[in-house]
Structures are given as C-alpha cells and as structure tokens.
A and B are shown apart, each in its own frame.
Chain A
Amino acid sequence: MNRPHRRCESLTRRDMLRMGSLAPLGLGLTDLFRLQAASPNSFRAKAKSCILLWLDGGPSHLETFDLKPDAPAEVRGPFKAISTNVGGIQLCELLANTAKVCDKLAILRSMTSPLGEHGLANHFLMTGYKPSPVIQYPQYGSVLAHVRSMPSVLPPFITIPENRSSVAGFLGDKYEPFATRGDPSKPDFSVRDLDFFPGVDETRILRRRTYLAEFDRAQASFEAREDRSDSAFEKAYRLVTSHEAKRAFHLSEEPAEVRARYGPRMFGQSCLLARRLIERGVPFVSVNNTGWDTHENLALQLRDGYSGAKVGVGLIPTFDQAFSALVTDLSERNLLVDTLVIVMGEFGRTPKLNSRGGRDHWPRVFSVVLAGGGVQGGQVIGSSDRVGESPDDNPITPNDLACTIYTLLGVDPNLELHTADGRPVRVNQGGKLIRGIVPS
C-alpha cells in the first residue's frame, strides 16, 4: 500500500496552499483586507476574531458590572462594590481579578430590550433582530462564517461545548457551529471522531470523498442546491486530514501554569480553548456558560457555588478568574487588538430582590462588556438609574449592539444576505453605532 510521503509534524504542501502561508488554518489575509476596505467609514475595523462569552440565563447587572451601593438594601443585593484599576469605575467585589484589567474593558450599562423570555431574548441578543414568525435570523457566528466564506480547515464557527438549538437561521445548516462537546476541564477531554478509524487511512478517506461526490452529483441535477464544494463532508475531510488543525483542540499542549491561571473549572478551560482556537485563525468562538438564571438565593449560586463553601466557587468567581485570565493572556500574546471579546447574557435581573433571595428577569436595563478588537478600554458607556431599573442615559438596544459588533468585526451592517427564496435581509437593520466605542 502506497502512501504519499508525509512529514507528520509539519504542514503538508496541500495545507499550505489551502491556507496561504501567513494565516494559519483560517482566513486568508487578502480576504480580510478586502473586507476591511468595504466596511463603513466610521472606523477601520480591527478585529479578526471574536470570542463570545455567553452567560446563559440572564446575569444580574446589579451583582456584576452595575453595582448600586447607595441604593436601598433590597436593591443593593448581598455584595459590595470595589474599585478597579480605572478611577471612578466600580465592579462587584467578587470580580477582583477583572477589576485589575478594567482598563481594557468597555462596560455598557444602558442595554435595554423589551423581551423578558429566555428564547426570545436569546435570539434578540445573538442576532440583533427580534424573533419573527417569518424569518429565522442567523446569529453572529453564522453571519461571520458566511461573510468570510473562504473555505478553511478549522470550522469558522465553533461553540464550546455546544448550543441548545440551531442558530444559522436562513443561512442554512452549512453555517451551524461545530460543537466541541465534552468538558475541557476533564483530563481526558478530546473532540470526538477527529482521528481516523483504525484501518481507514487518508487514501481511503480520499477515495470515499471521490465516491461520495459521484453519488451527490447524480442527486444535484435533481434539485436546485447550492454548490457542494463546502458540504459537511468536505469540512470534515479537511479537518481530519490536517494534523495541525486537530492539535488546536489538544488542551494538554498548554503548560500547566497557563491552565491553572484560567481556573480548574469547565468555564475557565473553555476560555483557554477558545484562545487556542482564535490563535489558529478561527474567526468566531462562543463559550456557553449556563446557570445565570438566578431566581433564588443569589449568594449561593453567584458566590458560593455550593452550600457551606468557604472559598466562593460560584458563577461569578469562576467567571472572574477565567475572564481576567483570557483578557490578560490575549493581551500578553498581542492578540487583544485583533480579538473582540464579548461578555453578555439575554437580559439583566429585577432591581428588587424577590421573596426567595433571588432576582427575576429584567430586560429593561442590563450590562454588556466588550474588550479588545480596537474597543476603547477603561470606560463605562451609558448608565442606569439610581436603582438599576431603567436606562438613564444613552440607551443601547441589542440592535445597536449588533450594528457595533458587526462593524468592529469588519462586516458592513448594510450588507444584504439572502434567504432561500431570494428575499434580501440586511445583516443589521436600523441599529446605531455606539458612540465612543473606539478611540476617536
């Protein structure tokens, strides 16, 4: 049996050709420059990649980024405010590490939305569009994957560990994210099925590819379908035949010291994995952190993590360690300018504590944090009122946020996408750029 000569440790010539020698495994730079030239003239987009840290359930703004220490006790909540490395900005005491990198963060405190139900709000925040019975709008990652449509080896849109429902909307299955599944904090973590089945080597995979193309060619003449060159199979093929690409998922290659900085829990290690992936050119990675729907007992879920904990391992301390490590790591590796980091959930939580010591859904005002990607750090944009109930100044809708995010990523908000029946849909409709998001 003959195999093509191959040096396993380095890239094959085929890989190099496909990638372009500068951008490892992801978007070719020529593509990026082309997009940047086309983006709106308000500012030159810097971000090549995006990491979305999705805090699922609706994180309380009053316990994280928008503390109200002077408000009545039932509004204030159980935690205190602390200063950060930026004068005049305070965060929750449980975000001590994040407080040290506040100079890199833009905190949006006047986000506002009318949607208080998880599914609807989720959709609004992730697409910039309110849910419609007629059109399924695609989420950020899918749009970005579509716009930067050069075939790459690593999937252009990856979620860690997975998401609960389809997100590509009318763009189709092709733009659904690749889910890593599993728990990156476990020692035996690996992404399934990346390695060949014993006995099936690259030659055979190539043959399967050829045979499959033959079958599908026969079917294609039957129905109007788009170009098959980037079918699920092709993506799988490229991925499994690239040793370099598969290494992106090997967290074990990270030094123990680096892994420890992110914290031992799933969220932290997922953030680290996200960093590895965007380092290797993946344009969009989202990390899904569940549990923020705290209708009861704030202290237990947000700080302690479990009853009787001496050292808090709840949602906020875990987030604090992971997020600050990520921002610092990106910064130290000179990746922060090129990487937009978004921290958000679907809404905030009620200003007045409920009878179970928790807070309920509150979309009327909440906070979102942006970092990197050219964003001006060390600032607060917008504010909520005295009791964290409504936006006081500069209300920002998820629509506005989407317009801003797309612009930062070099995607023209006015770009028209098309549904299967040819209907034009703008990437963003009616949103306004957030003033002051980038240094002027």
Chain B
Amino acid sequence: MTPQLASFVIAVSLMSLCLIAGSPIADSPIAAIVISPNRDAVLLGSQKGLELRSWPGMLFVGTIDTELTHVHDLKFSPDGTMLLAAGGSPAEKGAVEVIDWANKKRVRSVVLHEDVVYRVAWSPDGMRWVTASGDGICSVVDAASGETIARYEGHSRAVLGVAFFQDNKTVASVGVDQTLRLWNSSDGTHIRTLDNHVGTVNSIAIGPIVPTADSNIPVTLATISEDRTVRLWQPTIGRLMRFGKLPSVPRTLTWSPAGDRLYVGCNDGCVGTIDSRTMEVVETVDANVGRIHDLALDFEKGLMLVAGEQGFHVTGFLVKQ
C-alpha cells in the first residue's frame, strides 16, 4: 500500500467517523456556553453556529439557526423563556438574536453596532438587556419591542463585559480601556469610573444578593483583567475592596449562589476556585480545553462545563454548602 493510498483510506475513514459522531464542534474553539433553565440541555456557540446538546451527557441534539458568524455570548432571560445570542461579524456589525426557547426559534434579530457584541446582560426584571460591543459603545434595549432605549459612549475602546444591578437601572461595564464604569441605563448618563486595573478588563460579574436580616448589603462586583488580578469592588461608593493575583490571565468568571466562591477560567486552561473573602485560590482544575473562554456551573449536580480553544469539557467540582 503506497503512502498516498494509505492517506486516502484514512481520509475516507475519518470522514465517515465524523458523520457518525455528528459533532463538527467537538474539537474547535467554543466561545460561549449556557445551561438551560431546567438544566437538561446546554447550548454551545462558536464560529460554526449554535449547537444544542443534552446535559450532562453532552449528546448532540441539533442546531439552532443563526446569522451570527461569531457567537460570543449566550444569556437566558430571568424567567427562562427567552435566550439572547450575541455576536456578529467582526469589524462589520454587532447583533443580538432573540430566541424563543420553547420552540428554539429566532424571533428577532437586533443589529446595533459596527463591531461584534462581546457580552449581553439582562436586567433582573427581564424588561431590558444591555450590550458590550467592540465598537466601544453599550446599547440598552427594551426586551419587548427590541427598540434601543439608551446608549453609553464613555468607553474609549472595546467593551468586553457588562452587568445590570439589582435596581434594574444601574449598569456596570468594563473593557480594553482598563476602566470599570457605572452608568444609568435609562439615559446613558455616566455615574462613576473606577480605575485600578492596569490591563484590559476582560469580564465583570455582580455578586449575588444573599438575603439576611440586614437588607442594606452593598452590592459587590468582581472583575478580572489581563493584569492577572481578580478585584472585588463596592461600586456604589467607588471602593476597591480587595484583590487576588492569579498565575495566568483570567478570561471568564462566575459567582457561587452563596457569594462565597468565584470560579475563574484562565489562559492556561485551568479553572481556579477562589475564596471571595480571602481571595486565595483554594482549588485548581485543569480543564484540558486550552485557553478557556467560558464557564457554566450546575451547582445542583456539582458539574462544571468548560469551553475553550479546543472544545468543551465536563468536570465535577466541590460545592461547598
């Protein structure tokens, strides 16, 4: 058997295997993931589109039609009925597609920006959502109509992360200009800038409000940056509370429901669990997906879905009670 014939046979075999396994997405970069509200399915977003799989088995179920060439974020509405897929075509347009989760169909496509939308966030009451775009602008959109309510133009570079406060009004956004900015989502007016990071800020997540006797718990924000730090803030008074250093650049972060842990996925392919009081890394898991882009955690099952350059990976993690 000549070398050429051998490679021909191998090529054919691989091709067939691919068809059987049915998963073009398995080993290629995945930028966005989300676990469905009733935790029986996951949606994976990448340059190949939107792919639906079972959870936690990760069996291929089907695809959802999308026009986004790059998918960067997937977010369910607070009531779990609608899904936003954010992304677009780099250097051309940024768009958010609104998907009815019940029938898995796109009901609306909102083109808002001149560059991709990197993140989208719902307001807690589900009435609005806000975008973070590569063109440096954030748009606040009315969920029901799809109309733009306000725009914030305070960032001087691409915006990479955005989050809505519990008051359904204040928004925090972060990006390449190394700042964390608070602004009013009703009219796009600037409130405050927090300026301690010394590198691009990659993501932001608002800490959960844990109900206790004292109802005046200040909101805590967490941000992660190219400067390899995780920082906690009390944004309403503009204070940096504490920060922790990481061995590798962090890209994505999630809070635990109790607010005592932060889960951070990094460039080196590891997920670090950070104690939010001491800012020490208490556990590290190597996820084997290369550079990590997104994390989704199922706290009931104690399972974590990690998406990165080389596909996805499911692993268990310790859920502290």
Contacts and interface: CB of A to CB of B under 8 A. Distances in A.
Interface of A: 71-75, 351-352, 386-387, 389
B153 A386 contact: yes
Contacts of A351: 156
Interface residues of B, number: 8
A74 B179 CA distance: 10
Contacts of B179: 72
16 contacts: A71-B156, A72-B154, A72-B155, A72-B156, A72-B177, A72-B179, A73-B193, A74-B195, A75-B156, A351-B156, A352-B156, A352-B177, A386-B153, A386-B156, A387-B156, A389-B156
Contacts of B156: 71-72, 75, 351-352, 386-387, 389
Interface in B164-213: 177, 179, 193, 195
A72 to B, nearest CB: 5
A73 B179 CA distance: 11
Contacts of A389: 156
Contacts of A387: 156
B146 to A, nearest CB: 26
A351 B153 CA distance: 16
Contacts of B193: 72-73
Contacts of B195: 74
Contacts of B153: 386
Q: Identify whether the interface residues of B are mostly helix, strand, loop, or mixed.
A: loop
Interface of B: 153-156, 177, 179, 193, 195
A49 B171 CA distance: 58
Nearest to B155: A72
Nearest to B157: A387
Question: Which of B154, B156, B193: most chain A CB closer than 10 A?
Answer: B156
B5 to A, nearest CB: 55
Given A72-B155, A74-B195, A387-B156, 11 more contacts: A71-B156, A72-B154, A72-B156, A72-B177, A72-B179, A75-B156, A351-B156, A352-B156, A352-B177, A386-B156, A389-B156
A75 B154 CA distance: 11
Nearest to B190: A72
Nearest to B153: A386
A67 to B, nearest CB: 15
Question: Which of A73, A75, A389: most chain B CB closer than 10 A?
Answer: A73
Nearest to B179: A72
A71 B177 CA distance: 13
Contacts of A74: 195
Nearest to A68: B156
A397 B24 CA distance: 49
A73 B154 CA distance: 9
Contacts of A73: 193
A74 B177 CA distance: 10
Contacts of A386: 153, 156
A406 B177 CA distance: 41
Contacts of A75: 156
Question: Which of A72, A351, A387: most chain B CB closer than 10 A?
Answer: A72
Nearest to B181: A72
A387 B157 CA distance: 9
A71 B153 CA distance: 9
- Which 10 A-B pairs rank lowest in CB-CB distance, beginning with the nearest? A387-B156, A72-B154, A72-B156, A75-B156, A73-B193, A71-B156, A72-B193, A351-B156, A352-B156, A74-B195
B22 to A, nearest CB: 47
A352 B177 CA distance: 9
A75 B179 CA distance: 13
A75 B177 CA distance: 11
Contacts of A72: 154-156, 177, 179, 193
A386 B156 CA distance: 8
A389 B177 CA distance: 13
A101 to B, nearest CB: 32
Nearest to B156: A387
A387 B156 CA distance: 7
A351 B154 CA distance: 14
A71 B190 CA distance: 11
Nearest to A351: B156
A73 B192 CA distance: 11
A78 B155 CA distance: 18
Nearest to A387: B156
Nearest to B136: A386
Nearest to A71: B156
B276 to A, nearest CB: 29
A73 B194 CA distance: 12
B138 to A, nearest CB: 13
A27 B177 CA distance: 55
Contacts of B155: 72
